[in-house]
Each structure stands twice: as C-alpha cells, then as structure tokens.
Structure 1
Amino acid sequence: MGTHFILGLDVGNSSLKAVLIEKGKEGIPRLRGVFQHPSAGLRRGAVVDFADLSQAIASLLMEVKKVSRKAVKNVYLGMSTEKIRAQHSQGVTAISRVDSEIYEDDKERVLRATEAIRLPANWKIVYTALREYIVDGVGDIFNPIGLKGSRLEASALVISVFAPHLEEVRKAVEMGGGIVSDFVPVPIADSFSTLSKNQKSLGVAVIDIGAETTGVSAYNEGKLLGMATLPFGAKNITKDIAVGLKIPMEAAEMLKRKYGYASAKEVGAKEVIELREFLGDEKAKVSRRFFVEIISARLAEILQFVHDELASWGTIKELAGGAILIGGGAKLAGLSELVRQELKLTSQIGCCVLRDWENTERYEEYLDDPEFAAAFGIAAWGAEEEQWQERFSSLPQGRKGIRRTLRKIISLFSP
C-alpha cells in the first residue's frame, strides 16, 4: 500500500499556511510538515490578481514537494472569504412503507430536501450540517434508522459559497501542481483543531480573527448552531494606526505587534512610545494610551458584529464554554479580557488539541500558535472525511458530498 498524504491548505489574505499529514498505523495521522508563505492577490477572500496568487501558492507547494511529490496530490482547501454563508433549512419526507420503518434512503432523501433552497446566481452548496431528525413531531433524534413513523423531517444548516472565488483558487493550486480534493469551510474546520467534544456539548463559540476577515461559529449540545465570516480583521486595526499616527503601514504593523494592547484602560496615561526604531526619526513620540485607544476602538466594533451574529443565532446565553480565540489577530495582548467585557463570555486563546497525532513533538510551536489552527483543522477534516480512523466523529452529521459538489463547481466553469 502506497503512502497516503493529506495537505490542509489555509488560503489566507495575508499568509498561506499548510499542514501535511500522512496516514500512519491504524489510521493515526502522522504530522509530516507545517508550512507558511506570504499570500498575495487576495482581498477578503476574493482573487484580485490571479498571477500573484498562483505564484504564492506555487512557492508554498514547492516547499511541500520537498517532503514528497505525492504530498500535493490530495489538497483540502480552506478559504477565508466573506462570500460564504449558512442558512437554516427544514426538509421533510413521507415514510410510505407498509411497516413504516425508516431506512438509509429515507435519511438521504430528507437531507436532499433540506438542500432545496433558493440561492443567488453562482452560489453553490458545499456542505449540509445536520442539526436533528424529527420523526412524527418528536425531535432531537441523532439517527432515525430503524424507528417507525409516517413523517421524517431534518433540520440542517446549509453552507454555500460564491463558486467563482473557489474556482479561481482551485486553478491556482492546480497551476502549482496540486490537486484539490475538497473545499472546507474554515469557520467549521477551526473547531476540528481547537474544540473537544465536551466543549461542543457544553456550548462554545470560536472567533477566528484573520488579517481581513473574522470567522465566527458556535456549537451547543454537539450541534453546529451557526457560522459566518465578517469582512474585517486585524489588518483594519493596522490601517487605523497608520491613519491615526500618519505613519506607513509597515511601521504601523510593527508598532502594533510590539506595543499593541486590546484595552486602553490597562495602559498608563503617561506611557510614551519612542518611534525612532520604526521611523528613523529620533524626535518622534506618541502617547501609548492614544495608540491603544485606536486599537481598542476597532476591536470593540469587530466584537459588536460578532455579538450581533451570536445573538441572531440565539446562542449567547447557551455558551457556557465561552469563546475560543484563534487566528493571527488573537495574539494581541489583552484580547481575552476585552472579549470577556464586550461579549460577557469567558474566553481564552485557542491552541491545537490534536495531540494524539504522531510526530507532534517536533511541531509544538505551531500546535500552540492560534494562527495555524485553521490549517490543522482542515487537515483533520480531510482525515475524517476519508475515514482514516473509525473513532473520528467530529464532522457535523449531514451530507459529506463536498467532492461531489466541487466536481459540479469545476464542471460549471470548465470549457
């Protein structure tokens, strides 16, 4: 039996990150590499310069190929795009057998019924996450096979994406020698690497603060309650600093990383930042509190949008597990405390929980880095969809026909 790889590729707006795993003994994933390369040609998940994006992805895949040329032939692709959405849907089918027993084809039929929704032009369904089955009005059923009834319903969260965005990135991967097997919704993939089953059961939100987008998802009683991608992130904070202090973006980013803090209340009024190391001007100074006020104002706005999303799902009071913060933006000092104040939820910086993989000791720094959570989650999604281990069961119940959907998208744009 040949070597079997999965490459989890997180196509972010500021950087590309990839996690390579190999199928080990008894299906246990073996971590073979973690890769990162600057991104280019994207704006909030939309391709604005295909040549730049293709070159960036090709450079990353060249590094992956040093492990094995086969390593890029099974790519699970995740994108941080605002053009992805989730909507609740209810499907229903009649059970017409004489004995009224429910079989597998009834399950499949009712799940297809949940996908009978109206979508805008060029939008395609990429995943349907089941919330519950309902038999003759009795809900919260995990598996209805073998039960008897006359009416079977399914409540699901149907996730769709703007197909041209996905197709452009897929083409860029293929130009670099890769083969895309699946598209993975990043807000859901985040949960694979950062949440335990207990957290999903207790109730928890995952907030992924990227460069230009912020992903939000929430779980309770093991069910996906909602997901969304907001069109702003950590780069908006950098822009605000550049405008407010009238300094270049590069200097603003370095200043944010070294002196940034989430809440101005925690910064002394007399603290001063010397800007000479960033600008070369020995006389340039700025009040650190004023600087942090710029940051906290934008963060408060982002968290208000997050709050509104969670509230629209009716989930905030159900999230006993609080909020898990990941993404590059989660590294900002003091963010957990600000989230507690703004969302009234306990919060913590997330890290990868996939410690039962083989060879993880060589990659501890990446496993502990919230910026790589999505890439690890995408790889874990792939291992589960390919059923490397029977005990893998983190995928939300529902239709796993992403390959089928991806093929439809590809054929839609192929000559």
Structure 2
Amino acid sequence: MDESIVVGIDIGTTKVCTLVARIEGERNLRILGVGIAPSQGIRKGNIIDLAAASQAIARSVEKAQRTSGLEITSALVSLAGSHVSSVNSRGVVGISGRVIDQYDVDRALESAQAVAIPHNREIIHVIQRGFTVDGQDGIRMPVGMHGYRLEVEAHIITAAAATVENLRQCVQAAGVQVSQFVLNPLASAEVVLTETERQMGCVVVDIGGGTTDMAIYIDGDVWHTMVIAIGGNLVTSDIAQGLRLPISQAEEVKKEHAFAVESAISADDVFTTRPFGEDQPIQFSRKDLAMITEARLEEIFTFVMQEIKRSGYDGLLPAGMILTGGSSLIPGIKDLASRVMNMPTRVARPENLIGLVDQLNSPAYSTSVGLLYWAMFLNETAPKTHRKPGPQINVNWDTIKNIFKNLLP
C-alpha cells in the first residue's frame, strides 16, 4: 500500500471499527474508508470465540475496503483487557565521552527492557520518558550531546502472550497483517489531549463497553497505564436487571433516557418501554433509571481513583481527567466524575477530521481515530514503541571450514 495511507482496526467489546486514511500536508488525515461492525466473540478485551471474532473483523475490514476502494493488507490494531500491565524501568549504558547517537539511545532502551518479564507475557510498548546524561536529568532527546553515561527512564507495557496471539490470529484470518498493537488509552490520547494537558499532568480515561482504559501523562510522557475490566456494559446489565428488560433493549434505554446524576432528574420525568412478561409498554421513572446509572458509574470512577492513588501520581494531575469512549456520552457524566474524582473533568472527542467523518465525531471513536494518528507519527518519526530486532549475523560456513582445516595438523 501507499506509504501515505494508514489503517487502524479498533477491536472493542461493542464494535469493530476499521478506518483507512491518507496523510495530507502536515499531520492532516483525510478519512477515506470507514467500516463499523457489531463486535462478536470478544468480552472485556479478550477473545472468547475465535471464529465469531474473525468474522466480525472481516466484516468491518470489508466495509472499509468497499468505501475506500483500497485493499487493506496491514494495520495497527488496538489492544485492551485486564491482562495488560505496566512497569517503569531504568536503563544505563556507557558512552566513553563521545557524541551520543541513535544507536546509544537504542542500547539504553534495550538495557531498560532487561527486567524480569515472565515467559508468558509479551512486550507491547517500551516508551521513553526522559534521559539523564552524566547526572543531568530532564533531557528530552540526548542525540548529539557529549557524555560518558546515558540513562533512560522507560515505561514498559506487557500483555498476556496467548491473548495477544489469539487477537493476531483473528486479524490474520480476516486477511490483514498486524503491523503493531497499540494500547487503547495511548491511541485515544493522541486525539483527545492538548500539549498543555500532557505537560501539566492529566489522566485519560476511556470508558468502553467492556473495559475502562487509563493512561497518566506527566511532563509530556506516559507515566502509568492500566486497564480495568469493567465498562459501560455493566450499566446496561444493571438496567436490564432492574427494569427486567432484554440486554439490547436496556442498551437503547441507556442511550436515550439515562442520566448520570439522579438529583438532576425530576420525579415526574418518565419514559415507556416493554419489559419481559408485559403485552403493552409501561411507564418507568427516569429518576429510578438515573439512580441505577449513577451507582454503577460512581463505582467505575472509584476504581479509577483507587488506581491513580495506587500509582502514586494522584497529586501530580492539575489538568485533571479527560473522559472519552462510548460511555462518556451518558449525559451528566462530567459532573459525576468531577464530584467523585475531585478534579477538573472534560469529555473529549476526535476533532478537525476531514473526509468520511459523519459518525466519527464522537467519543466512541477516539481510539479508532487515535490509531491513525499513531500510525502517522510512526511514519514520520522514530516509533514511540521500541522493538529492536536482534543483530543479524550472516555466517559463511565455507570460510569457517577453511579456518579449521588450516588449524588441524
């Protein structure tokens, strides 16, 4: 495919979204193809039915190919799930007083990867956070500097190798090669964060159907990432049980009538729907629905707050929380989040898109669009994810045989 064409496949619990875009001018993306299909065989970021998941991905890819007129051979693919974990590591290498080049930076990052990672886990991202040259810290990029000792702070994100391989197999079954996996909140951050928020310190929280994905940014870099295995589907499930509705109907009720703050709803406000066992639609109080919604969302934000405190960075986030993902569309969620988290909150969505963007101006597509931005930055700069292959050694066996012949009597 043309180098200026980028493709992202966002595989979520609720939907699979394939986007094809062309890079135009300076960091502009024109959306050429959109393929959205209901997700199947995936729960909380994990594959539970390989065949069903492959078919859902294939349908999404086929729609994107049809609308763009391009054949999709490789793509960046989103990754989430409770199997994802992260650790901060430090790598140190000697320089001998000469000028630091990219090879030294690569060696330092490789040194940072020398942490004890179980054999059943795979490194997804190694993200450089900052460098120290001869004790001077806070250096953004040391290439071109003189020094004797180079240190790098790196954020290493790993995932269960079997889960990653299952996801790769599903995408390949749809006829597409995975060029790289990208963690959901890192993709979302590419489109929803401002440079000021990255520098000041903030947390991106992407509430999807099956998972709530979060990434803490401080001084412009990722400091902590986490995936919590609950999401908007739990709100739907509670509504289904509380009002005795089928799940599909509960999802519609959530989208049309739910509100995140019970006290903001009048006791006279009602809506009609038909629960199990009833011949005719009956009236329900929106206040009761808001009570169910508020309780579950409050629980999600409490988990997020606990994770931020556990990371130790809760006092370093003056820019607050940036909410995105499909569940952030519930009215009133911003006020609830601000109250529970006790920090500034805004709901963010992809902006400044051109091309086929009718559906994409929604928080539900932040990860999908973010994958395209991630692919664009990989095209124009050294990748944020450092996965350097081992040294390539070409062995000339004839030469080795001749050497041994000369040594033998």
Q: Is the 8 A contact 1:190 1:374 kept in 2?
A: yes
Pairing partner for 2:362 from 369, 373, 379: 369
What is aligned with 1:332?
Answer: 330
Deviations 1:116-161 (A, max 9, x none): 1112332111111111112233211112234344332111110111
Taking structure 1 as reference, are residues 153 and 27 closer, same or farther at Cα in structure 2, changes over 3 Å only?
A: closer
Distance 2:248 2:144 in 1: 62
**Structure 1 counterpart of 2:48, which letter?**
V
What is the Cα deviation at residue 174 of structure 1?
1.8
What is the Cα deviation at residue 33 of structure 1?
2.1
**Structure 1 counterpart of 2:170, which letter?**
A
**Structure 1 counterpart of 2:250, which letter?**
A
Matches for 1:263-274 after TM superposition, within 5 Å: 263-274=261-272
Please say which of residues 139-148 and 282-291 is displaced more in the overlay.
282-291
Distance 2:73 2:325 in 1: 27
Q: Is the 8 A contact 1:254 1:278 kept in 2?
A: no
Pairing partner for 2:135 from 137, 144, 162: 137
Q: Is the 8 A contact 2:20 2:68 kept in 1?
A: no
What is the Cα deviation at residue 324 of structure 1?
1.5
CA RMSD between the two structures: 2.5
Distance 1:240 1:76 in 2: 34
Q: Is the 8 A contact 1:132 1:156 kept in 2?
A: yes
What is the Cα deviation at residue 2 of structure 1?
4.9
3-state SS in 1 of match to 2:82: coil
Taking structure 1 as reference, are residues 26 and 294 closer, same or farther at Cα in structure 2, changes over 3 Å only?
A: closer
Taking structure 1 as reference, are residues 40 and 147 closer, same or farther at Cα in structure 2, changes over 3 Å only?
A: same
**Structure 2 counterpart of 1:49, which letter?**
D
What is aligned with 1:312?
Answer: 310
What is the Cα deviation at residue 4 of structure 1?
4.5
Q: Is the 8 A contact 1:54 1:172 kept in 2?
A: yes
Taking structure 1 as reference, are residues 343 and 179 closer, same or farther at Cα in structure 2, changes over 3 Å only?
A: same
What is aligned with 1:400?
Answer: 386
Q: Is the 8 A contact 2:245 2:275 kept in 1?
A: no
What is aligned with 2:372?
Answer: 379
Q: Which has the larger radius of gyration?
A: 2
Q: Is the 8 A contact 1:5 1:74 kept in 2?
A: no
Pairing partner for 1:176 from 165, 174, 177: 174
Deviations 1:26-53 (A, max 9, x none): 7753321222100100111111111111
What is the Cα deviation at residue 25 of structure 1?
5.5
TM-score by length of 2: 0.88
Q: Is the 8 A contact 1:212 1:231 kept in 2?
A: yes
What is the Cα deviation at residue 10 of structure 1?
0.3
Q: Is the 8 A contact 2:36 2:63 kept in 1?
A: no
Distance 2:34 2:70 in 1: 16
Q: Which runs of 5+ in 2 are unaligned?
A: 391-409
1:74 aligns with 2:67: no
What is aligned with 1:221?
Answer: 219
Matches for 1:44-193 after TM superposition, within 5 Å: 44-67=44-67, 70-95=70-95, 97=96, 99=97, 101-193=99-191
Distance 2:201 2:25 in 1: 33
| Pairs aligned (count) | 390
Distance 1:345 1:26 in 2: 34
Identity across the alignment (%): 28
**Structure 2 counterpart of 1:268, which letter?**
S
3-state SS in 2 of match to 1:211: coil
What is aligned with 1:408?
Answer: none
**Structure 2 counterpart of 1:60, which letter?**
S
Distance 2:147 2:376 in 1: 35
TM-score by length of 1: 0.87
Q: Is the 8 A contact 1:6 1:71 kept in 2?
A: no
